[in-house]
Amino acid sequence: MDNMNDNNRIYIFDTTLRDGEQSPGASLDQKGKLEIAKALAELRVDVIEAGFPITSPGDALAVKSIAREVKAPTICALARAVQKDMDIALDCLKPAAKPRLHVFIATSEIHRKFKLNKAKDEIVRIATWAVQYARDRVAEVEFSPEDASRTEPLFLYQVLESVIDAGATVLNIPDTVGYTTPFEFGNLIKGIFDHVPNIGKAIVSVHCHNDLGLAVANSLAAVKFGARQVECTVNGIGERAGNAALEEIVMALDTRKDIFGGKFTNIERSQICKTSRLVSSLTGMLVQANKAVVGRNAFTHESGIHQDGLLKLRKTYEIMRPEDVGFGETQLVLGKHSGRHALENRLAKLGHKLTEKELDHVFISFKALADKKKEVFDDDLVALVDKEIVTTPRIYALGYLSVLTASGKDPKVTLRLKFKGKTLTATGTGSGPVDAAYRMIDKMIKRRPRLLDYQIRSVTVGKDAQGEVTVKIQGDADEVMIGQGLSTDVIEASVKAYLDAINKMLHRSKLSGKDRAAHGV
């Protein structure tokens, strides 16, 4: 790590692509992982934990790709204290400019007894051997005693002292099951500094889970007592209730310098919202409206008292400026009379610099939306970019949709799809308009994927608000795909979402065999 002598520097270790992807339903393909990794580099995170290579050939491929193409941050891979795990992870890290191997083994009594069936001395021996093995092959080695917050303190100190002597450069203290509280966790970190004699030879890191809603609070308590690396994820996604949210950690340190004694991160704050939206779009994990820093309502004020105060002095009701995190100004209104240049300028302020071709595509969609809505807000524009600038080829595209409904009768749907320059048409009924539309799509594509999940939400305000539909489907080969669609008409949004998921499924089916063979995994 650079700048190690600056004790006020807090390193941001992003594990969105590893622990974040462990969120149920948040699986990412290799292309999506690389896209997020590049965004994290623009966000200027210090470390990207790119994956857990032993878990699957796809994860190994993703780590290799990120190590090869993303050079500014340290690229990290996770491995158990097992030689096969470490060898595969080290091989994936070979292209990295700044590689780090992250090795872990459980240390708590409950894990030793019921998961590992190993005694304390054997845990120390394995941990020491693993760190030595890794350090002989890579300069940066991070060690995590899994379930550290429930480990007996004296034994934890013993393990940490041993792995530092073996060559660990970063010691990560996980609250693996989100069990501890800020007071306890702060004291745990203090105890480590007080009782591990060689602690000055390593950076102390923390990795907190949110099972009790305390991941960010516990992480910040640890910083107060000397931790200098925080492991976190964009939007706080992760196993079970998630991880400490990157955006909340960064902005808490920035906003409350008075409490944290001038501690700072190297994060490019203006990229926070853009990265949040990208992660939400690619994982299908929606950000709740009242989510701190990046939620839709984070900088929205409805109360007349609040509005009056803001007009007189912004700081009366805002402790952060929306511009500082790339949120943009609140509700700049564009309409059907707005031109291409105005759209380009507004998107640039929102952090989106599009190519001429991308701008042309979004402008057409913007004009179509403006004809349906009286006002087009910032959220509308961001949603258009997220949904219209796609990386997956549109094998099937919606050409025409008609829905006829009447009381007491099944709805009748007519659909036209564009496919390889041809137009496919089908008409039929179902138990509802969405069911009918999906039946017609299955008929035309001659496949019947299983619909696992269907969600709808409003992404903007007003009677003519856009609806965003997120679907999850499972194909014949058990592959699971997430699709999203956006429209002021929820039936149209539902059709777009279903087609998006199908296109992803067909695209992956076409390329997966060829890609894996090419990478030798």
Contacts of 256 (CB under 8 A, 6+ apart): none
Percentage with pLDDT > 70 across the chain: 88
Co-location of 140 and 189 in the same domain: yes
Query: Residue 127 falls within a domain, yes or no?
Result: yes
Query: Residue 289 falls within a domain, yes or no?
Result: no
Least confident of 132-141, 338-347, 370-379, 464-473: 370-379
Co-location of 184 and 47 in the same domain: yes
Co-location of 314 and 275 in the same domain: no
The tens digit of pLDDT for each residue in 455-498 reads 998 776 666 677 889 898 988 877 778 888 888 899 999 999 99
Residue corresponding to tokens 């107060």: 224
Bridge partners, 112 (sequence order): none
Q: What is the CATH number of the domain that holds 99?
A: 3.20.20.70
CB-based contact 441:415 (threshold 8 Å): yes
CA distance 448 to 162: 56
Q: What is the largest CA-CA distance in the chain?
A: 78
Q: Is the pLDDT of residue 422 over 70?
A: yes
**What average pLDDT does the segment 159-168 reach?**
98
The tens digit of pLDDT for each residue in 231-286 reads 999 999 999 999 999 999 999 999 999 999 999 999 999 999 999 999 998 998 98
Confidence of residue 305 (pLDDT cuts 50, 70, 90): low
Q: Is the pLDDT of residue 220 over 50?
A: yes
Within 211-315, residue ranges assigned H as helices are 215-224, 246-255, 257-260, 272-283, 304-312
**What average pLDDT does the segment 136-154 reach?**
98
Q: CA–CA distance from 151 to each of 80, 160, 240 (Å)?
A: 18, 12, 21
Q: Is the pLDDT of residue 209 over 60?
A: yes
**What average pLDDT does the segment 36-45 reach?**
98
* Tokens of residue 186, six digits: 């702060």
Strands (E), 3-43: 11-14
Co-location of 383 and 403 in the same domain: no
Least confident of 266-270, 303-307, 355-359: 303-307
Co-location of 276 and 364 in the same domain: no
Co-location of 324 and 400 in the same domain: no
Co-location of 30 and 50 in the same domain: yes
Q: Is the pLDDT of residue 376 over 90?
A: no
Confidence of residue 371 (pLDDT cuts 50, 70, 90): confident
Strands (E), 356-492: 396-406, 409-419, 422-429, 450-458, 467-474, 480-487
Query: Residue 294 falls within a domain, yes or no?
Result: no
Phi, psi of 107 (to 5 degrees): -125, -15
Query: Residue 36 falls within a domain, yes or no?
Result: yes
**What average pLDDT does the segment 209-238 reach?**
98
**What average pLDDT does the segment 101-107 reach?**
98
Last residue of a domain, one of 283, 317, 346: 283
Q: What is the pTM of this model?
A: 0.77
The sign one gets for the Cα dihedral 249, 254, 259, 262 is: positive
- How much of the chain is helix, strand and coil, in % rounded to 5? 45, 20, 35
Co-location of 94 and 19 in the same domain: yes
Overall domain count for the chain? 4
Percentage with pLDDT > 90 across the chain: 63
Confidence of residue 330 (pLDDT cuts 50, 70, 90): very low
The tens digit of pLDDT for each residue in 119-130 reads 999 999 999 999
Co-location of 425 and 471 in the same domain: yes
Least confident of 227-231, 236-240, 357-361, 495-499: 357-361
Last residue of a domain, one of 217, 249, 283: 283
Co-location of 474 and 362 in the same domain: no
Query: Residue 124 falls within a domain, yes or no?
Result: yes
Contacts of 219 (CB under 8 A, 6+ apart): 206, 208, 227, 230, 232, 244, 249
Question: For position 314, what pLDDT does the model report?
Answer: 63
Query: Residue 373 falls within a domain, yes or no?
Result: yes
CA distance 260 to 10: 11
More confident residue, 120 or 338: 120
DSSP 8-state secondary structure symbol assigned to residue 7: T
**What average pLDDT does the segment 441-455 reach?**
93
Query: Residue 291 falls within a domain, yes or no?
Result: no
Co-location of 251 and 312 in the same domain: no
Q: Is the pLDDT of residue 222 over 90?
A: yes
Query: Residue 271 falls within a domain, yes or no?
Result: yes
Q: For 94-105, give the secondary structure using H, E and C.
A: CCCCCEEEEEEE
**What average pLDDT does the segment 66-88 reach?**
98
Question: For position 257, what pLDDT does the model report?
Answer: 94
CB-based contact 53:41 (threshold 8 Å): no
Least confident of 4-13, 148-157, 305-314, 496-505: 305-314
Q: Is the pLDDT of residue 50 over 70?
A: yes
DSSP 8-state secondary structure symbol assigned to residue 92: H
CB-based contact 506:393 (threshold 8 Å): no
Question: For position 27, what pLDDT does the model report?
Answer: 77
Q: Over the chain, what is the mean pLDDT?
A: 88
* Tokens of residue 74, six digits: 């340290």
Q: Is the pLDDT of residue 164 over 90?
A: yes
**In 3-state terms, what secondary structure has residue 41?**
helix
Q: What is the CATH number of the domain that holds 442?
A: 3.30.160.270
**What average pLDDT does the segment 396-403 reach?**
94
Question: For position 303, what pLDDT does the model report?
Answer: 45
CB-based contact 270:324 (threshold 8 Å): yes
Question: For position 307, what pLDDT does the model report?
Answer: 44
Co-location of 320 and 336 in the same domain: no
* Tokens of residue 37, six digits: 């990794």
Residue 57 belongs to domain spanning: 11-283
Length of the chain in terms of residues written = 521
